Amino acid sequence: MNDVLYIGVNDHHLDLFEGQYAVPKGMSYNSYVISDEKIAVMDTVDAHFTSVWLSNLKKALGGRKPDYLVVQHMEPDHSAGIMLFAKEYPEATLVATAQAFGMMKKYFGEDFASRRLVVKEKDSLTLGSRKLVFYSAPMVHWPEVMMSYEESEGILFSADAFGKFGALDENEPWIDEARRYYIGIVGKYGVQVQSILKKLSALEIREICPLHGPVLKEDLSYYLNLYQIWSSYSPEEKGVAIFYTSVYGHTEEASLALEAELKRLGCESVTLYDLARSDLAKAVADAFRYDRIVLATTTYNGDVFPFMSHFIHALTERGFQGRTVALMENGSWAPVAAKRMRALLEGCKNLSFTETVVTIHASLDENSQKAVLQLAKELL
């Protein structure tokens, strides 16, 4: 028997993860078995797959019984199998933080007081030749989260960190869906991610086993560096992302003209989003990805068009900061969208705004076209 086995599942039925993130290529819920003199099971899976998971577990055990269930994260897509495990293996001990056991009481009406091991920062669990050391990771991205480091092989069981959208039987690059996952779900908690990264920097990590997405085994510095960039709110790439809303096509026309001029002037990385028709999570992720963004929208009811307002709120609640922002507004008789957008961004740190603000009175004219060209030069 291999010492560490994967017993997770793929979910191709889910359309919206956490009720909001589109997952056209499904989702994985990961769980692992560590086999030594004693056996530890690392987390469970979503409620729709607990019977499949239990079957996977029994196959991996090969007739043995587990000694421990380590619960790193209580979100239901990872904890739904706890009661099933507890009933199936009544002699096994549950291992988790004090907060996690408190959450078990709320979810299951049971905190397993007679068969639990409460662990805290740098507590350890010896399984034989293997030893797990636990590291508290509060608000990455729930308060009870911990990670587990297996010392002999340098395996980090990282809870939700380093995860991605997409089932494991889908062949796709890691980075785009990992970025969308991180910015959407963990992005608000950059300070807390920085804290756990500092702890992890002292460890020799040779493998990362997350609760979503593939096991990471090669070039781990690449993944760790991306988490350092994302959690410090630093731009990942130099480029311009243009986000617009348009009612009758005139704001879209201005946005397309800006995109064309940026490319003509040599900007190699320009991306364009119609916020009414784009995946919000991907748009938000790309706002964090690039060092310059453009917000272009219509004035609507004396305010900002709803899709733009929602987008800016999604940025601010995730700690958007440290970027250059350009504003374009449209208004047939009283354009105020630029002023309103700037007000919505007031709480963001270290934003710089371009001097040029493009104002369109209904449709592009000679003056607004010149402003678009000037804005392109200023952005570069």
Q: What is the CATH number of the domain that holds 281?
A: 3.40.50.360
Give mean pLDDT, residues 90-112.
97
Contact 1, 39 (CB under 8 A): no
For residues 209 and 357, membership in a common domain is answered with no
Tens-place pLDDT, residues 300-335: 998 999 999 999 999 999 999 999 999 999 998 889
What's the mean pLDDT in 241-263? 96
Give yes or no for a cis peptide into 361 (omega within 30° of 0).
no
Can you tell me the mean pLDDT for 102-112? 96
pTM for this entry: 0.93
1 contact partners, CB below 8 Å, separation of at least 6: 35, 60, 62
Q: Are residues 248 and 208 in the same domain?
A: no
User: Same structural domain for residues 156 and 282?
Assistant: no
Residue closest to 175 by CA, chosen among 232, 214, 140: 214
Amino acid at 263: K
Same domain, 250 and 359: yes
DSSP SS3 for 147: strand
Q: What is the CATH number of the domain that holds 62?
A: 3.60.15.10
End position of a domain, from candidates 185, 200, 231: 231
Task: Reduce the DSSP state of residue 68 to 3 states and report it.
Answer: strand
Asked if 130 and 220 sit in the same domain, the reply is yes
Q: pLDDT tens digits, residue range 341-368?
A: 999 999 999 999 999 999 999 898 999 9
Q: Token digits for 339?
A: 């002023």
Last residue of a domain, one of 231, 252, 279: 231
| Residues 217 and 104 grouped into a single domain | yes
Q: Which of 186, 213, 231 is the last residue of a domain?
A: 231
**Same domain, yes or no, for 127 and 202?**
yes
Statement to judge: residues 150 and 54 lie in one domain = yes
Q: What is the CA radius of gyration of the chain?
A: 24
* 52 membership: H or E segment, kind and range: helix 50-61
User: Is the same domain home to 248 and 291?
Assistant: yes
User: What pLDDT score does 223 carry?
Assistant: 97
Number of domains, the chain:
2
Compute the average pLDDT of residues 131-155: 97
Average pLDDT over the chain, rounded to an integer: 96
Indicate whether 175 pLDDT > 70: yes
76 contacts: CB under 8 Å, gap ≥ 6: 46, 47, 107
Phi, psi of 335 (to 5 degrees): -70, 120
Q: Are residues 44 and 106 in the same domain?
A: yes
Q: Are residues 291 and 190 in the same domain?
A: no
Q: Where in the sequence is the domain holding 189, given as residue range(s)?
A: 4-231
Task: Please report which confidence band the pLDDT of residue 268 belongs to, taking 50, 70 and 90 as the band edges.
Answer: confident
pLDDT of residue 122: 96
**Does residue 1 register a pLDDT over 60?**
no
210 plus 243 within the same structural domain: no
